[in-house]
Structure 1
Amino acid sequence: MGEIPAGRVASYGQIARLIGLPACLRLVGRVLSQAELYGDYPRHRVVNHAGALSASFAAQRELLEAEGVEFRGERARMKKHRWECE
């Protein structure tokens, strides 16, 4: 997850596939919700497949906008900012 570049976003599904657990989307979300306990990770760069932000992470949009991620309404523009890692 630390490899997601600034200005890019990844989905929970992408992260789950990268770690070899493609069906564990919720587990990825749960781990990310506690990521600050394990170090300084750019968890704000992980959104759902449609670009929706985490309801429990108030500063997520502000952090993404500071990196240049654009939004359409409440969702990150995935076609423009998706991290192509696979």
Structure 2
Amino acid sequence: MQPFTEEVIEVIREIPRGSVCSYGGVAALAGNPRAARQVVRVLHTYSEQEKLPWWRIVNSRGMIALKPGFGYEEQRERLEAEGIVFSNDRIDLRRFGWEPDDL
């Protein structure tokens, strides 16, 4: 496993219940702010194997990137179960966005 992939996995594991982070935010915290698409690849490849809380990753506008019928409903249900509130299909990243305390 590549070092960046390992970092992405660690960042995703740290996102607490009731919080979200964007793909770009995860990439930046993992050391490469321009690698949001790589975060998508890591999620696709390792979510199940590493038991990652994949549902806590949203796009930079605070929206679920998955399409209805392809995971959108499950992701929204999981987020709402953690107390995340949606307004017009968006999550307020100022309220629910996560950044580690040690930045």
Normalization by structure 2: what TM-score?
0.75
Q: How many residues are treated as equivalent by the alignment? A: 86
Mapping 1:43-82, distance limit 5 Å? 43-55=54-66, 56-58=70-72, 59-82=74-97
Larger helix share, 1 or 2 = 2
Query: Where does structure 1 lack aligned partners over 5 or more consecutive residues?
Result: none
Deviations 1:43-67 (A, max 9, x none): 1001011111021423100000000
- Determine if contact 1:35/1:43 at 8 Å carries over to the other structure: no
Offset, 1:37 = 4.0
Higher relative contact order (CA 8 A, sep 6+): 1
| In 2: Cα distance, 1:34 partner to 1:79 partner | 29
Q: 3-state SS of the aligned residue for 2:63? A: coil
Residue 41 (str. 1) matches residue 55 (str. 2): no
| Paired letter, 1:57 | G
| In 2: Cα distance, 1:11 partner to 1:48 partner | 5
Moved over 2 A (4+): 33-38
Match of 2:23 among 8, 12, 29: 12
- Determine if contact 2:47/2:53 at 8 Å carries over to the other structure: no
CA radius of gyration, larger in: 2
CA RMSD between the two structures: 1.4
When structure 1 is superposed on structure 2, of 61-70 and 11-20 the one drifting more is: 11-20
| Sequence identity (%) | 40
Query: Where does structure 2 lack aligned partners over 5 or more consecutive residues?
Result: 1-11
